Amino acid sequence: MSPVTTDKPDPAPAAPPGGGRGGALATALLNAMRSNVRQYGMLVALGLIVVLFQIWSDGTLLLPRNVSNIVQQNSYILILAMGMMIVIIAGHIDLSVGSLVAFVSAMAAVMMVDHDFPWPLALACSLLIGAAAGAWQGFWIAYVGIPSFIVTLAGMLVFRGLTQIVLEGRSLSPFPKGFQNIAQGFLPETGPDTNYHNLTLLLGVCVGLFLLWQEWRDRRRQLSYELDVLPYPLWVGKCAFIVAAVVVATLMLASYRGIPVVLLIMAGLLVLLGYVMRNVVVGRHVYALGGNRAAATLSGVKDKRVTFLVFVNMGVLSALAGCVYAARLNAGVPKAGEMFELEAIAAAFIGGASMSGGIGTVFGAVIGGLVLGVLNNGMSLVGLGTDYQQVIKGLVLLAAVGFDIWNKRRAGS
Amino acid sequence: MRSITKTFPGVTALADVGLTVAPGEIHAVCGENGAGKSTLMKVLSGVHPHGSYAGEILFEGEPCAFRDIRASEARGIVIIHQELALVPYLSIAENIFLGNERASRRLKVVSWNETLRAAAALLARVGLGAEKPQTRVADIGVGKQQLVEIAKALSKEVKLLILDEPTAALNDEDSRKLLDLIREFRDHGIACILISHKLNEIRQVADRVTILRDGRTIETLAVRPGGGTGDGDGDGDGGLSEDRIIRAMVGRDLDHRFPARTAYRGPDAGTVALAVEGWTVRHPIDHERKVVDDVSIEVRRGEIVGIAGLMGAGRTELAMSVFGRSYGRYEAGVVRVDGREADVRTVPDAVRHGIAYVTEDRKTYGLNLIDNVMRNITLPSLPKLRRRGTVDAHEERRVAEGYRTSLNIKTPTVLETVGRLSGGNQQKVVLGKWIHADPEVLLLDEPTRGIDVGAKYEVYTVIGRLAARGKAVVLISSELPELLGMCDRIYTMAAGRLTGEVPRAKATQEVLMRHMTTHVRNDG
């Protein structure tokens, strides 16, 4: 197949190695940034918020103890935000997650407290309940065609009601230690006394090495496919940044009680869901559906099945968040999970989701959730009341999305 | 209207067009799809505001500068679009006065008594006296809805009524009523611009006809000698013949060139790759209407077969309904691929049988505009790029780069958002997407719509190459020279039916246009 008028596509403007450093590097950096303004923008904003509260709280914010605290405090919102991001990318919304969190935590409590289930079995059953609830909603949305707003609004009422029916107004506690550890536990202490948490150090080294290896492998494969890559010095800088970030995070966690169990869960989810959305066919179909449903359907995307799966996934994640929440509270209570859906939706939008679907990343949802979480924690540390916290969080949401729209309009797309 | 010029990015839609309509005249405007009729009417009615075009509009002797449609309506110019602009769940009366409510002057409280009284009076004027003004618009037929639109126009004290294809969706009886009504208005001094593909209608009611072609005025002809207002049924009264109009509509200089075709010489050359038999599809909402009616076509390997037809002929509907029943309500018909009956009930089924459909509306049905070039190209064939369950990102990038080069897609990188590319390059992305799916049959629907001449040539080359590799290609196009330049055989459609099959040797624009304007009785 030889084309008619092929002027050779201008070769990738890869900077000549070594030469013309400043200008070429800056352009490459700008290009890399520009492709993902909202996400990088939010990362920068997160950094600024951290610095601001670190100063304002006289260094309390980044104390190892408080960092662990932030992670555990926000874990369930972050888990929900990841699922919510996928729902929003698919062009839907889920208002029921808060109620589903409550329902699942109530069911887990009933199983463990009233019926003495061993906690792993209770956890597994909880996740199944979540999947079933997601499948129920997904059925109405995908196969019957009722708008997700309506179906999940109904779900919000139904699951909240079921929670109260199951609990009969009681608060059920306590849970087995193993279950509590899901939210409150840390990796066990082992090895010699080094002043640091050994397992955490080991894991930190592994993660760091793995990330570096992956960067190196990617770069090599990209070169072998003759794709354009970051200029070498910039790439080294990127690697150095990765190493620095891993080292700082590892030391911080290792100097307290080590890595919280829930952080491992979240990291696992982030890697898994991020990978699925980027590299697995079904994830790519989610983006295509959200971007242009008609075009995706005409390209052979099975829109009903994909939509269904998105809601099943949301159900499972809601169940997981429900278990984490119950474990953290060490109780199943009727009022669990109130307003969680709105926090999760806000996190997704701050993290770069688009109201009309098709745009966003799971990583972005985590950043958005962390922005909210750090704000919460920081404002509590400096003694701002929850009344002010609400106002400020609302304004941050407005500003984040407003900035994005302004930025898009300026770019003229 | 004097020397109106209107350009869109990359395309000149109207070049120095003039049109004069006398008071109390029915003035027909005709031309092929894309000749500029609708654009001209949008300029006249203020949809394209003053300042976005060059030239001037004189109405009753005064120059006009309409900012929007309300400004032109205030002067008594009302346009009725082909797609009706009625709110189905509101009553007839509410629709008539929508945006123009009969309301008290200061508080704007709607006066229902006045609304209903006035609506009833208007309905009587358009011959709908039997309908209650309270009836929901959704509950009356399309023909009556058209009349409601006209009543709405009358409520605005119309002096010039513009009708865009008013009878396209109507059956014979409703069409006749509508045309009678237009004639009656003429006798009351209302001027009317009638855009129509149905030449017999034009001969029946119009006084003069202006023909547009490629955004230019070709000529204005009197329908009857002396331009008198005869009773209008006269064949053989020495009036303008349909052939004369057709000649003016198509007689263009061939300003496109087409690449030479190489014949496919594979062992299975000439075998029928796709056969559609007795295909009948009803309109998705209006089940009374057959949009595709008993159509049978076949395409051989290495062959390019054209489908010609005017707007509403059912070409797109045929292609989309064959492609996984993506349009309308299937009623009857069989699809055979390589002689075997194929189950193509869903898009994945159709793709599995090697059928691909390249849409005429790439922005709505073809592309995810907010995603990048690469991901748009690989979407239908992602499973092919799978390695151990996941999409091989590097291979995907390589594939996309390959199409960027071979189709000459002009973009800085395949990671560029598709929405930022020009129309021609977007079209190449859609083509690349389906070429990568490696189909045996390609249904190409207006593959060169809205793209410049250079890009067209490139698209023709790609199409020619596909046929030379033994693919069967169906080319749907409104541009007759394109069909004549590319196709081995051309089917013509009108009003949902097949009206002709012309081999290339015998095909001329006049012959095709004759078949395309054949009036088939619409008794759906």
CATH number at residue A77: 1.10.3470
CATH number at residue B228: 3.40.50.300
- Give contacts of A284 with chain B, Cβ < 8 Å: 375, 379, 382, 391
Q: Are residues A143 and A170 in the same domain?
A: yes
Using CB atoms, which residue from A1, A12, A300 is nearest to B348?
A300
The residues near A5 (Cβ < 8 Å, ≥ 6 apart) are B408, B458
Q: Are residues A177 and A81 in the same domain?
A: yes
Q: Are residues A294 and A172 in the same domain?
A: yes
Q: Are residues A237 and A372 in the same domain?
A: no
Alpha helices in B222-341 (DSSP H): 242-250, 315-322
Q: Are residues B283 and B416 in the same domain?
A: no
**pLDDT at residue A316 greater than cutoff 90:** yes
pTM of structure: 0.77
pLDDT grade, residue B154 (50/70/90)? confident
Q: Are residues A169 and A307 in the same domain?
A: yes
Distance from CA of B485 to the nearest CA of A (A): 18
Q: Are residues B468 and B321 in the same domain?
A: yes
Q: Are residues B1 and B17 in the same domain?
A: yes
The residues near B452 (Cβ < 8 Å, ≥ 6 apart) are B10, B11, B423, B424
Confirm or reject contact between A288 and chain B (CB < 8 A): yes
pLDDT grade, residue A4 (50/70/90)? very low
Domain limits for position A195: 188-259
- Give contacts of A7 with chain B, Cβ < 8 Å: 408
Confirm or reject contact between A413 and chain B (CB < 8 A): yes
Interchain contact, A287 vs B420, CB within 8 Å: no
pLDDT grade, residue A321 (50/70/90)? very high
In a domain, B145, yes or no: no
Q: Are residues A69 and A180 in the same domain?
A: yes
CB A359, CB B370: distance < 8 Å: yes
CB A102, CB A322: distance < 8 Å: yes
Using CB atoms, which residue from A8, A281, A295 is nearest to B383?
A281
Which one has a higher pLDDT value, A24 or A72? A72
Residue A259 Ramachandran class (φ > 0 left, ψ -120 to 50 alpha, else beta): beta
**pLDDT at residue B265 greater than cutoff 90:** no
The distance from CA B132 to its chain's CA centroid, rounded to whole angstroms, is 34
Structure tokens at B472: 């069967």
In a domain, B94, yes or no: no
Q: Are residues B500 and B455 in the same domain?
A: yes
In a domain, A31, yes or no: no
pLDDT grade, residue A179 (50/70/90)? very high
**pLDDT at residue B56 greater than cutoff 90:** no
Q: Are residues A164 and A200 in the same domain?
A: no
In a domain, B506, yes or no: yes
Q: Are residues A174 and A242 in the same domain?
A: no
* Measured CA distances, A37 to A30, A404, A407, B420 (Å): 10, 8, 8, 17
Number of Cα atoms under 13 Å in the Cβ half of residue B254: 10
In a domain, A388, yes or no: yes
- Give contacts of A275 with chain B, Cβ < 8 Å: 390
**pLDDT at residue B237 greater than cutoff 60:** no
Cα–Cα distance, B422 to B50 (Å, whole number): 26
In a domain, A271, yes or no: no
Please provide the average confidence, as pLDDT, over all residues in chain B.
83
B438, B453, B479: which is the final residue of a domain?
B438
In a domain, B400, yes or no: yes
**pLDDT at residue B330 greater than cutoff 80:** yes
CB B295, CB B497: distance < 8 Å: yes
Q: What pLDDT, in 10s, does the model give residues B383-404? A: 888 887 788 888 888 899 989 9
Q: Are residues B195 and B335 in the same domain?
A: no
Neighbours of B35 (CB within 10 A): 23
Classified as helix, coil or strand, B65 is coil
Structure tokens at B7: 């350009």
CB B296, CB B498: distance < 8 Å: yes
Q: Are residues B324 and B457 in the same domain?
A: yes
* Host H or E run for residue A89: helix A64-89
How many contacts does A have with B, using Cβ atoms within 8 A?
111
- Give contacts of A292 with chain B, Cβ < 8 Å: 364, 367-370
pLDDT at B232: 40
Q: What pLDDT, in 10s, does the model give residues A92-107? A: 999 999 999 999 999 9
pLDDT grade, residue B72 (50/70/90)? confident
Q: Are residues A202 and A330 in the same domain?
A: no
Number of domains in chain A: 2
Lowest mean pLDDT among A23-32, B102-111, B371-380: A23-32
Domain limits for position B465: 269-354+439-524
Cα–Cα distance, B476 to B444 (Å, whole number): 6
- Give contacts of B406 with chain A, Cβ < 8 Å: 1-3, 6
- Distance in angstroms between the alpha carbons of the first and the last residue of chain A: 33
CB A379, CB A392: distance < 8 Å: yes
Strands B54-59 and B62-64: antiparallel
Q: Are residues B419 and B457 in the same domain?
A: no
In a domain, A195, yes or no: yes
Cα–Cα distance, A346 to A192 (Å, whole number): 44
B205, B224, B252: which is the final residue of a domain?
B252
In a domain, B152, yes or no: no
The answer to ipTM > 0.85 is no
Confirm or reject contact between A407 and chain B (CB < 8 A): no
A259, A274, A291: which is the final residue of a domain?
A259
Q: Are residues A101 and A229 in the same domain?
A: no
Cα–Cα distance, B169 to B182 (Å, whole number): 17
Neighbours of B203 (CB within 10 A): 22
Number of domains in chain B: 3
* Host H or E run for residue B340: strand B340-341
Q: Are residues A316 and A373 in the same domain?
A: yes
Q: Are residues B214 and B197 in the same domain?
A: yes
B205, B221, B252: which is the final residue of a domain?
B252
Cα–Cα distance, B449 to B360 (Å, whole number): 7
In a domain, A30, yes or no: no
Q: Are residues A179 and A317 in the same domain?
A: yes
Structure tokens at A201: 């150090």
Q: What is the mean pLDDT of residues B269-284?
A: 89
